[in-house]
């Protein structure tokens, strides 16, 4: 066979959007790295951008702007047939539903990857992270963690099994509009 000839798979690899779900210290980024390697996927982690760019995990709402841009990049990659791991945490069912819906619009599969964590394990992991790599993390108090645990919505079986995507919240015409309201820079660019 000449060098100019090449083989194409008769069935291109289906792209998958992996949604990392869990609280700080759950092991999301470690698992995200594994998934990215195993599936040759693009890994997008806002925490790796926020501190270098803004020196803060939220930076007066800039996190939502950054996440919107990363989602746009993810959608472009999915359309090109590349899998993507979104290492965001995704504490709310609405966030996950919107992203599942957006993945579907690109023709990609979507997999919710939930990593639960015991509070004592979480505290130990966060303390270790703050001691060993303070430049790669943000200060988190036990009170912060308790408040976040209260707000966190554990994925249900339908989400974990790739079941039906629920309707958007009342007053929202669709998941695209919800996503753009939540992540202002989440455009189809």
d(CA 175, CA 189): 17
**Who contacts 187 (Cβ-Cβ below 8 Å, separation ≥6)?**
68, 72, 180
Do residues 78 and 9 make contact, with C-beta atoms less than 8 angstroms apart? no
Q: What is the pTM of this model?
A: 0.86
**Would you tell me how many other CB atoms lie within 10 Å of the CB of residue 107?**
11
Is residue 9's pLDDT more than 70?
Answer: no
Who has greater pLDDT, 76 or 134? 76
pLDDT given at position 49? 81
pLDDT tens digits, 65-96:
889 999 999 999 999 999 999 999 999 999 99
pLDDT given at position 46? 86
Asked, for residue 3, whether it belongs to a domain, the answer is no
Q: What percent of the chain has pLDDT over 90?
A: 65
Please state, rounded to an integer, the average pLDDT across all residues of the chain.
87
pLDDT tens digits, 156-168:
999 999 999 999 9
What CATH number has the domain bearing residue 57?
A: 3.40.50.300
Range of 99's domain?
A: 16-165
DSSP string covering the chain:
--TT-----SSPPPPEEEEEE--TTSSHHHHHHHHHHHTT-EEE-THHHHHHHHSSSSTTTHHHHHHHHHHHHHHHHHHTT--EEEEEE--SHHHHHHHHHHHHHTT-EEEEEE----HHHHHHHHHHHHHH-GGGS----HHHHHHHHHH-----HHHHTT-PPPPPPTT-S-HHHHHHHHSTT----
d(CA 18, CA 143): 30
pLDDT tens digits, 96-113:
999 999 999 999 999 999
Structure-token pair, residue 123: 């505290």
Is residue 134's pLDDT more than 80?
Answer: no
Report the domain count for the chain.
Answer: 1
Could you give the angle at the alpha carbon of 75 between the alpha carbons of 70 and 79, nearest 5°?
Answer: 145
pLDDT given at position 13? 59
């Amino acid at each position: 066979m000449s060098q100019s000839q090449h083989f194409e798979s008769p069935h291109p690899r289906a792209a998958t959007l992996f949604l990392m779900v869990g609280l700080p210290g759950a092991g999301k980024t470690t698992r995200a790295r594994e998934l990215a390697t195993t599936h040759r996927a693009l890994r997008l982690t806002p925490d790796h951008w926020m501190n270098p760019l803004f020196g803060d995990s939220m930076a007066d709402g800039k996190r939502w702007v950054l996440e919107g841009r990363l989602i746009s990049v993810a959608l472009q990659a999915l359309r090109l047939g590349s899998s993507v791991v979104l290492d965001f945490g995704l504490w709310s069912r609405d966030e996950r539903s919107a992203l599942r819906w957006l993945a579907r619009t690109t023709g990609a599969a979507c997999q919710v990857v939930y990593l639960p964590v015991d509070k004592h394990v979480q505290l130990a992991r966060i303390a270790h992270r703050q001691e060993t790599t303070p430049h790669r993390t943000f200060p988190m108090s036990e009170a912060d963690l308790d408040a976040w645990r209260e707000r966190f919505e554990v994925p249900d079986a339908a989400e974990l099994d790739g079941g039906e995507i629920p309707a958007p919240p009342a007053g929202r015409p669709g998941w695209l509009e919800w996503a753009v309201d939540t992540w202002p820079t989440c455009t189809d660019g």
